[in-house]
Amino acid sequence: MAVKEPKIDFKKWLNYQWIVKNVPYFLFLSLLAIIYIANGHYADNTIRNINKTTRQLKEQEYEYKTLNGKLMFQNRLSEVAKAVEPIGLKENIQQPIKLTDSTKLKDN
């Protein structure tokens, strides 16, 4: 003879009183699910902001390097001479003259 296994009667466990008794637990699980979803959205937004800021930083770095290179090129002596030639300025070729105070020479 075959031995019959006892069946689990879910109707006995899932009745109205059990559901009412566990409503706070179901609400807690619902709250956890909402927090989990909100945390996922917050993480996605944070990652998007980090990527956006990284892109902006790279663009600023490229712009800085480009402008710095242009400035270094414009500050070369030959480029400065070309820039001021239209207004009549020329490079001084003579040696500088040392100025001394004539009153100090008389006192010594």
pLDDT at 63 over 60: yes
pLDDT of residue 56: 98
Residue 68 lies in a domain: yes
Is position 45 within any domain?
A: yes
- pLDDT (tens digit, 9 = 90+) per residue, 70-107? 999 988 988 888 888 889 888 888 898 888 887 776 65
Range of the domain at 55: 17-79
Residue 75 lies in a domain: yes
Examine residue 105 and state whether it is found in any structural domain, yes or no.
no
3-state secondary structure of 75: coil
In a domain, 55, yes or no: yes
Kindly state whether residue 25 falls inside one of the protein's structural domains: yes
Q: Does residue 88 form part of some domain?
A: no
Percentage of the chain modeled with pLDDT above 70: 86
Indicate the number of domains in the chain.
1
Extended beta strands in 37-102, E state: none
Residue 61 within a domain: yes
What pTM did the predictor assign? Answer: 0.56
In the structure encoding, which two tokens stand for residue 106, read together?
A: 């008389």
